[in-house]
Structure 1
């Protein structure tokens, strides 16, 4: 088991084959899945046969980025996961940021803490040039996390999903942050200026709803 990074309250580590039950429990909470599947749980067989193998496979593919199990640093309890994955295979210059946390971890600033740590590691150690994140337009909680993490609104778009869920008619939103903008984030927050929109980088639409579940 490899630890990817640690923060004051979190340890982000690689998933292992023994973590299937943790993912089944996480995806079995209707509140967690509200903005991902309309509250429907991910079937256990799908977690074991598709979700977890996909997660484990990314560690073996350059540059070795993907999904990281989040644990409480003090007690070791499983809290959920964070995603930090290239939008294009083998190219770490642009990565997608996301997270999915257990309900008990909500409202404590843990999502922002983990996201900020990943962004910092990406820009200072991993050669990342742009971080992007996506969620439903109606997911106000995750939009706040993105903003607190330094990302700025890029666009609203409509994605065609196999099954529409409540709120999908309002579309999805993309937020992003570039390495050049990142050092100015704290300065902008102190000044209190409104966040400017970040120009969108053309790329394929995101895949299935994996990210920003709160």
Structure 2
């Protein structure tokens, strides 16, 4: 995934070196330890069909599809609150537009609220990242704000800002059938 510039278009705008990936992975693992039950999961598919590894289980067979993320909120424009998680997903390009990010995100929301007991889940992306915004909307997150962080090396589209979407446990439960 980190060798495909299109997958990283709205994150880094370029591919990443092996050292950058190793450092990023170590940072992710340290962050995941802050709240029991939150973290990162790999998704796999077999027999031409997709099967996500549902938290907290992991699958170790089949084709790697992508990384599903539900760490504690941790960014400079995010709350420092252990009851708030950040939803994220990154898929190999050949698995885009198949509903896999939405399917995995719904499962991560269920996990966040029913298993971990989070109060709120947020998701952030560049305003111009329409695909990611559609996933957020399709799983019930609502637009909260547009903000304009300062970047050392801004990506194309940065001038339109970043957007935040969110859903609370009460909103999620109210939207569930039955």
Q: TM-score range by the shorter chain?
A: 0.7 to 0.9
**Partner deviation per Cα, 1:109-148 (whole Å, 9 max, x = no partner):** 0000000000011111111110000000011111000000
Are 1:37 and 2:23 counterparts? no
Aligned twin of 1:124: 114
Are 1:154 and 2:128 counterparts? no
Aligned twin of 1:170: 160
1:44-193 superposed matches below 5 A = 44-48=18-22, 50-72=23-45, 76-87=62-73, 92-185=82-175
Hey, what's the Cα distance between the residues in 2 that align with 1:173 and 1:86? 18
Normalised by the length of structure 2, the TM-score is: 0.82
Higher relative contact order (CA 8 A, sep 6+): 1
Structure 2's unaligned 5+ residue stretches are 48-60
Aligned twin of 2:56: none
Aligned residues: 160
Query: Post-superposition shift, 1:98?
Result: 0.5
Hey, what's the Cα distance between the residues in 1 that align with 2:12 and 2:90? 13
Moved over 3 A (4+): 58-62, 88-92
Query: Post-superposition shift, 1:94?
Result: 0.6
SS in 1 for 2:10: helix
Query: Post-superposition shift, 1:55?
Result: 2.6
Q: Given that residues 38 and 112 in structure 2 are in contact (C-alpha distance below 8 angstroms), is that contact kept between their aligned partners in structure 1?
A: no
Query: Post-superposition shift, 1:60?
Result: 4.0
Query: Post-superposition shift, 1:162?
Result: 1.8
Hey, what's the Cα distance between the residues in 2 that align with 1:138 and 1:69? 26
Structure 1's unaligned 5+ residue stretches are 1-25, 188-214
Q: Given that residues 31 and 72 in structure 2 are in contact (C-alpha distance below 8 angstroms), is that contact kept between their aligned partners in structure 1?
A: no
Query: Post-superposition shift, 1:183?
Result: 2.4
Aligned twin of 1:19: none
C-alpha RMSD over aligned residues: 2.0
Query: Post-superposition shift, 1:173?
Result: 0.2
Query: Post-superposition shift, 1:167?
Result: 0.4
Query: Post-superposition shift, 1:59?
Result: 4.5
